Amino acid sequence: MRTILTTEQQRDQAVDYLKQLVFGKRRYVLDIKVWRRPRSLRQNRLERLWLKCLAEETGNDADDLHEFFKKKFLEPRRATINGETIEIPASTTTLDTAQFTTYLDKIAVFSQDFFGVVLPQPDSLGWDDLVARYGDR
């Protein structure tokens, strides 16, 4: 059973459900975490537009830029396999909207500081030009 709890009543129902579980031959896994809205399609689209723009402006491949920014701005996950600790590259797909906003902000600042490229936000001047130029590719 997977559910998102938003009220005390739902929490109480979940507790009642847990009290009915039968132990013995069965074991259960219970994960509880704060729910966060996953990155939005709009955020993903913005990143893709920016990557296309930066690819053209810098001569780099958009996918390479994506990997570069992930490595630069996101923490890798650590895992231990057969006693050896390894780093698993970070993924933007696991970010929530707040984390993805922070990630995009870092890309914008870096792009202006190091590439000299100002990346427009959806509500800023230049946005329509960015979409017209890179939106259909």
The per-residue pLDDT for range 120-130, each reduced to its tens digit, is 888 777 788 88
Percent of the chain whose predicted confidence (pLDDT) is above 90: 51
Question: Does 33 reside within a domain?
Answer: no
CB burial of 10-44 (b: ≥16 within 10 Å; e: otherwise) equals: eeeeeeeeeeeeeeeeeeeeeeeeeeeeebeeebe
In total, how many domains does the chain have? 1
DSSP state of 87: E
Q: Is residue 102 in a domain?
A: yes
Mean pLDDT (whole number) for 6-20: 89
26 found inside a domain: no
Residue 2 maps to a domain: no
What pLDDT does 136 receive?
Answer: 55
**Is residue 76 one of the residues assigned to a domain?**
yes
Q: Is residue 29 part of a domain?
A: no
Question: Which residue is associated with the tokens 């890179």?
Answer: 134
Domain range enclosing 54: 41-134
What is the predicted pLDDT for the residue at 29? Answer: 87
pLDDT surpassing 60 at residue 44: yes
What's the mean per-residue pLDDT of the chain? 89
Domain CATH for 49: 1.10.3790.10
Per-residue confidence band for 80, with pLDDT thresholds at 50, 70 and 90: very high
